[in-house]
């Protein structure tokens, strides 16, 4: 083999090693992306968070609200799930707003009576 052939073989071997490294790096990045997506898929949706906290007739009330007021219910579910996730709401949701939730509503306590405010659509 001539000197040129040896140089050519070294260049080919170097290029092949680079290609293998690139492929292994790409596979590792794909694995990381797949695991991140898997973790996001495992994260419960806002509705799932709410459903876990529903009490007596809660699911019925939620389904009726979603049917009658879909956009409004979506907003309420999102906010309630945030409050549950943050630990601000620890009670079981049964369709009645306790007076301790005054800070989250615009209702005046005098309009609905002491202790309980009003039934909400969900």
* Residues in the chain, pLDDT under 50: 107-118
Give residue limits of the domains in the chain: 1-43, 46-119
Helix (H, G, I), strand (E, B) or coil at 117: strand
Question: What's the rounded Cα separation, in Å, for the pair 118 and 80?
Answer: 16
pLDDT of 115 reads 43
pLDDT of 118 reads 43
pLDDT of 102 reads 56
Backbone angles phi, psi at 70, to 5 degrees: -60, -45
């Amino acid at each position: 083999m001539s000197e040129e052939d040896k140089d050519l073989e070294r260049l080919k071997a170097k290029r092949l090693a680079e290609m293998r490294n690139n492929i292994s790096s790409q596979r590792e990045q794909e694995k990381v992306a797949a695991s991140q997506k898997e973790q996001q898929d495992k994260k419960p949706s806002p509705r799932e968070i709410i459903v876990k906290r529903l009490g007596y007739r809660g699911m019925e009330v939620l389904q009726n609200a979603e049917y009658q007021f879909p956009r409004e219910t979506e907003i309420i579910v999102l906010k309630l799930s945030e409050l549950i996730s943050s630990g601000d709401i620890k009670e079981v949701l049964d369709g009645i707003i306790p007076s301790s939730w005054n800070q989250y509503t615009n209702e005046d306590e005098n309009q609905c009576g002491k202790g309980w405010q009003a039934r909400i659509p969900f």
